[in-house]
Amino acid sequence: MSVAAVDVLTPTGSTVTGIRTQIDREIEALLVALPDPARLSADERRGIIARYTAVLEGNFIYWMTGAYLSVASDEARAKIIDNLREEVRDCHPGMLRRFTLAAQSAPSAEDADAVNHDLMEVRRFIGRLDAVPTVVTMAFFEGFIQRFMPYLADLAKRQGSTEMEYTDVHGICDITHTEELYGALAAELALAPARSPQELFEGVGLLRTLMQTIVGKN
Ligand SMILES: [Fe+2]
Q: What is the pLDDT along the chain (218 residues), one digit of tens a residue?
A: 333 333 444 444 458 999 999 999 999 999 999 999 999 999 999 999 999 999 999 999 999 999 999 999 999 999 999 999 999 999 999 999 999 999 999 999 999 999 999 999 999 999 999 999 999 999 999 999 999 999 999 999 999 999 999 999 999 877 888 888 899 999 999 898 778 888 999 999 999 999 999 999 76
pLDDT at 195: 82
Going from the Cα of 9 to the center of ligand 1, the distance in angstroms, rounded, reads 32
Going from the Cα of 6 to the center of ligand 1, the distance in angstroms, rounded, reads 32
Task: Cite the DSSP H helix spans in 165-201.
Answer: 165-170, 175-191, 197-200
Domain, as residue range, for 78: 3-214
pLDDT at 6: 39
Going from the Cα of 109 to the center of ligand 1, the distance in angstroms, rounded, reads 23
Going from the Cα of 80 to the center of ligand 1, the distance in angstroms, rounded, reads 12
- CATH number of the CATH domain containing 180: 1.20.910.10
Going from the Cα of 4 to the center of ligand 1, the distance in angstroms, rounded, reads 30
For 30, residues 6+ apart whose C-beta sits below 8 A from its C-beta are 144, 208, 211, 212
How many domains, the chain? 1
Going from the Cα of 38 to the center of ligand 1, the distance in angstroms, rounded, reads 27
Cα distance between residue 140 and residue 19, in whole Å: 10
Q: Does the model's pTM come out above 0.75?
A: yes
Cα distance between residue 103 and residue 45, in whole Å: 10
State the Rg of the chain over Cα. 17
Going from the Cα of 16 to the center of ligand 1, the distance in angstroms, rounded, reads 24
Going from the Cα of 148 to the center of ligand 1, the distance in angstroms, rounded, reads 13
pLDDT at 131: 95
Going from the Cα of 55 to the center of ligand 1, the distance in angstroms, rounded, reads 13
Going from the Cα of 87 to the center of ligand 1, the distance in angstroms, rounded, reads 5
Cα distance between residue 191 and residue 197, in whole Å: 17
Going from the Cα of 83 to the center of ligand 1, the distance in angstroms, rounded, reads 8
Going from the Cα of 147 to the center of ligand 1, the distance in angstroms, rounded, reads 13
